[in-house]
Amino acid sequence: MFDNTPLELEEIIDQCRALAYAAVNTDEPQAREILLFVLQERIDHLYRTSQAEPAQAEVSHVA
């Protein structure tokens, strides 16, 4: 089942940790490359989400 609910920062951080752990502990080069690619995307998503949350907090604080 697919859940379209946006992830919270803690959930994205958990995903990054799991991907990093899997990439470090795998002996398969192709699997490591794929895991690191997905990790890079998750880190980018984490950065964008962390930048958007303070802006949302400022908007709701002003209202």
pLDDT in tens, 8-61: 999 999 999 999 999 999 999 999 999 999 999 999 999 999 998 776 655 554
Q: In this predicted structure, what is the pLDDT of residue 63? A: 47
Residue 3 domain flag: no
Domain of 42?
9-62
Residue 4 domain flag: no
C-beta contacts of 11-20 below 8 A and 24+ residues apart: 12/42, 12/45, 12/46, 12/49, 13/46, 15/42, 16/42, 16/43, 16/46
Q: Give first-to-last CA distance, the chain, whole Å.
A: 36
Residue 51 domain flag: yes
Residue 24 domain flag: yes
* Number of domains the chain contains: 1
Q: Specify the pTM.
A: 0.77
Residue 2 domain flag: no
Reduce the DSSP state of residue 35 to 3 states and report it.
helix
Q: In this predicted structure, what is the pLDDT of residue 58? A: 53
Q: Is the pLDDT of residue 4 over 80?
A: yes
Residue 39 domain flag: yes
pLDDT-derived band at 2, boundaries 50, 70, 90: confident
Residue 15 domain flag: yes
